[in-house]
Amino acid sequence: MMAANGGTDSATEPPGLDTQRREIENLNRNQQLRSGDSWYLLDKRWYDQWKEYVDTGDQNSSSYPGKIDNAELFEDLDSYHLKERLAENEDFVLLPAEAWHKLLSWYDMMDDQPALERKVIDLPSTVKVEIYPVEVHLCLFSNLENTVFAQFSRADKIHAIQQHIRQEFTVSESSECRLWMRNTDTSSERLRNLNMTVLDACLSSGMTVIMEIRNADGTWPTSRPQIMRNSAEDPDSYRGSPGVCGLTNLGNTCFMNSALQCLSNTPPLTEYFLKNLYLEELNFSNPLGMKGEIAEAYADVVKQMWSGRHFSVVPRVFKTKVGHFASQFLGYQQHDSQELLSFLLDGLHEDLNRVKKKEYIELRDADGRPDQEVAEEAWCNHLRRNDSVIVDTFHGLFKSTLVCPECHKVSVTFDPFCYLSVPLPVSKERVLEVFYVSLDPMAKPTQYRLTVPKAGRIFDLCSALTQATDVPPNQMAVADVFNHRFYRVFRPDESLSCILDRDDIFVYELSSGFLDQGSEEVLLAVYMRERSHYRDYGSGSNSYGTSLFGHPLLMSISRARCTRDDLYELFRERLTRYVRPLDPSEEVEEEDEDEEEEEEEELYTAQTNGVRDDEVEEDLEETGPSKEEEEKPETAQTEEHSSGQLEASPKSEGEERAEDESSSEQDRGSSTEEAQSACIKPNTRPMGRRRCAEKPKKALFTIQMVNSNGTTERGTADVDGSFSFSSLTYIAIDWDPDMKKKYYNENEAEKYIKHPSMDIPHQQTIVQLQECIELFTTVETLEEENPWYCPMCKKHQLATKKLDLWSLPEVLIIHLKRFSYTKYSREKLDTVVDFPLRCLDFSDFLLKKTVNSDDPPCTYDLISVSNHYGGLRDGHYTSYARNKDNGQWYYFDDSKVTIAREEQIMTNAAYLLFYQRQDKIRQPSVPPPVPSTTQAVNHITAQTPDDVDGNSSCVSMETD
């Protein structure tokens, strides 16, 4: 029997909703991560719906979540392989084992789904739950085609992999062997240290581990070194342009590759490393540094890239070092190239800091002193603690002015910076795409593109749609449709920020102003379900399994029409466009059935619809007559008519006797059911055969009341029979598979029309880089989360703040703040920033004016760009860079490198801009390359004009 909590009889009776909430919250709050413990992944949408359910305090709430369902976390339901790039607290939540087992015992889990158990692992500088174990292929060198698939924790030792291969391929313990790891570029590297962890060895998912067994004559099969080496080409034969070298993607490391390419093409820094000047300045004692390891790892990458002997370099060691010292970059999730760049510049600075012992320096306020004096003092103090090639190349100085709003105290300081993070002008509008579903049953849904206020409400969306449809906003209902069901039905006053760009938003025309005060309308959420061919006797419920399909509907109808016959006709009419009507010859059943078989079918029908055993006989008496035949017992007539429930037919003599025999049970049941006042009684059997002399009419489908997920049959009406917008009535239209195949046209049901607004190209906003810099220097008021302590008022104040540029470095990095995060919304700005490739003049922005000829000029040329394609949670990073030796621009997309033209560089993907001061730019020492057949195949190719604007065939728009 299906329990009220949506589980089967394997689930235990859950405690009260408030107790459930407190128990789970306490377990989540008090559980610490301990190495070796198990944690479990749970679908975020299910968990959110559970929280909403327990917060209602109502066991019959429409937000009941049903069985635990992690289907959206899997790529498919055959292999149950986890989807890539799932994000915690967006796609899933992590629960400690005890909390998971409690939820499992209360709600049960969808059939056949495995529990997503993950272990806590102890990694350098952090303890974390390992969501994605490393998935590798294993094989023997003697048969590279015969591979097996295996998973390993990053905390496992390489020795564990060796033993696994021995067992899988029956390799004797006495056989001498060695291991190689091969990445997707077919380059391979020897795994020498078997006590090294999977993490330290940089072994990542998708790689292959090869076991090589020594020959009987003492030789190794890989006697030719070029078969197994760290780069894809033979260095003895390849000769290319220094710096024109790709970087292998180790798994979601395009963000790192993009930042490395930009830094690699920063001439003063690269020449510093190529000339080995760093060797004398490595700082092994700096407590803020990384023992010189980051500097050495970066030097190794740069030397390989500029040797001219590699198509592509594999930066495994560098990736490992970064993860050791910055735990946020551990593993193989996507990150931000600007965050990596910030860490790397700071790490290189501290590893190469010429100041071996930093002295304490007390900072002084300006106190009315001239800016020139205060600025020089601040810069000298900075150099007394920070002196490195990074400071020489990238550090500038800006003036910060704070003004107290109460006492008007002015505080002036001069602070160094390593890059400028400049804001982009943010539009106050956004574009949403919605599907409009008309009341006209023959009209296909229409897709519209609407412009709405970013800070608007759902009502504003409806108002925008009114302009195109002439339907009043109060006759519209807006819903987020997900997986054939309503994930959310919005109230008119809800913020538009709760709609994400990727959501499927449907707007339904209602028959009247349902949201108006005093409306006698009921809002129905209608799902389409298909029954399985066979009853699931094994579950103990003898019920048919069902699966959702198609698009759901939102409909408003009057309470007076909430009868089974009226609803059937209403739904049949609404589905006219894609449901074929019954032929007259099909209206009546063709065969008589034996009385006993008929009764047995009636019994199973009643059980299928959630009827208790003691109510079976009562429900068997319902014959579902036409309106002309309706006749109700006097004792029940008043209540049932007033509540709008389905009516019963006159009872036969045999049925009267059955009713008398179960009268005590009926009295208890009927009083409860009548108080429910639902549109359709939850335990009403589907429309079917009537036990009377007249042949019953055949039905296309049956109707059932369900919960908001469309999975559990239940009621949702208030005691007085009223319905509110926040407590919808969910109804399922159940199709027999044969009937659905015969009468339901799936192709027609999926059709929709594109409104002309969809064909209007989205106007790409273009702003000048100078506008962004002006915004950076605009006066702003501090946020409440970051107040300033006024020394005069002796309290924190929301002061006004203004930043001004005082002096600029040789290489200026400008970070375009495309990722906008507020308390109300998160978005990526695709604004095109018009930035010059040459002669970017900062003279109008510098507060310090040139006083003598020794001051450097303030005109800059572009040398590299880091690009980001995609949205907030995913995307792909690439880069453009100008080679310091030949002056040619190149496009770097991980291991692929192509010649680029200057007109390609400015796109809406530009994220980080590297500018070098013109007086420091060196003239090319070698001529630029001329693309020809003598160049490396599939490596350096000139792009055609069709490739311009970011759609190059070499620009992969897919996520890593």
Indicate the angle between helix axes 293-305 and 337-351, nearest 10 degrees.
110
Residue 866 is encoded by which pair of tokens? 């880091």
Please give the sequence-ordered ranges of beta strands (E in DSSP) within 301-372, or none if there are none: 312-313
Convert the pLDDT of each residue in 806-830 to its tens digit.
Answer: 999 999 999 999 887 665 556 778 8
Convert the pLDDT of each residue in 581-606 to its tens digit.
Answer: 887 776 555 444 444 444 444 444 43
Distances (CA, A) of 247 to 259, 644, 914: 11, 70, 19
Longest dimension (CA), the chain: 115
- The residue behind tokens 């000048």 is 768
From CA 301, how far away is CA 312, in angstroms rounded?
11
Q: Is the pLDDT assigned to residue 130 strictly greater than 50?
A: yes
Give residue 303's pLDDT band: very low, low, confident or very high (50, 70, 90).
confident
- The reported pLDDT for the residue numbered 655 is 43
CB-facing half-sphere around the CA of 306: CA atoms within 13 A: 24
Give residue 227's pLDDT band: very low, low, confident or very high (50, 70, 90).
very low
Catalytic positions, written as ranges: 254, 876
Q: Is the pLDDT assigned to residue 45 strictly greater than 70?
A: yes
From CA 220, how far away is CA 946, in angstroms rounded?
50
| Cβ pair 435, 506 in contact under 8 A | yes
From CA 408, how far away is CA 389, in angstroms rounded?
40
Torsion of CA 649, 654, 655, 659, to 10 degrees: 140
Residue 23 is encoded by which pair of tokens? 């128990």
Number of H helices, E strands in the chain: 21, 39
From CA 45, how far away is CA 70, in angstroms rounded?
9
- Mean pLDDT (whole number) for 769-776: 90
Distances (CA, A) of 81 to 69, 71, 133, 262: 15, 10, 12, 36
| Cβ pair 829, 426 in contact under 8 A | yes
| Cβ pair 530, 520 in contact under 8 A | no
Percent of the chain with pLDDT over 70: 76
| Cβ pair 207, 137 in contact under 8 A | yes
From CA 510, how far away is CA 471, in angstroms rounded?
9
Residue 664, phi then psi, degrees to nearest 5: -65, -40
Counted residue by residue, the chain has a size of 960
From CA 780, how far away is CA 692, in angstroms rounded?
81
- The reported pLDDT for the residue numbered 887 is 92
Q: Is the pLDDT assigned to residue 694 strictly greater than 80?
A: no
Question: At 435, which helix (H) or strand (E)?
Answer: strand 429-437
Rg (alpha carbons) of the chain, rounded to whole number: 35
- The reported pLDDT for the residue numbered 462 is 93
- The reported pLDDT for the residue numbered 612 is 39
Of 222, 215, 197, 213, nearest in space to 323 by CA: 197
CB-facing half-sphere around the CA of 281: CA atoms within 13 A: 21
Give the three-class secondary structure for 803: strand
Q: Is the pLDDT assigned to residue 440 strictly greater than 70?
A: yes
Of 214, 208, 74, nearest in space to 148 by CA: 208
Residue 791 is encoded by which pair of tokens? 């020394």
- The residue behind tokens 């998971």 is 100
| Cβ pair 945, 884 in contact under 8 A | no
> Angle at Cα 921 formed by Cα 916 and Cα 924, nearest 5°?
130
CB-facing half-sphere around the CA of 723: CA atoms within 13 A: 30
Residue 207's identity, in one-letter code, is M
| Cβ pair 293, 301 in contact under 8 A | no
| Cβ pair 680, 567 in contact under 8 A | yes
Q: Is pLDDT larger for residue 382 or for residue 560?
A: 382
Domains and CATH numbers, the chain: 17-123 (3.30.2230.10), 134-213 (3.10.20.90), 246-422+769-917 (3.90.70.10), 428-534+545-580+700-711+726-763 (3.10.20.90)
Query: Is the pTM higher than 0.75?
Result: no
3-state secondary structure 910-948: EEEEEEEEHHHCCCCCCCCCCCCCCCCCCCCCECCHHHC
From CA 87, how far away is CA 41, in angstroms rounded?
11
Q: Is the pLDDT assigned to residue 627 strictly greater than 50?
A: no
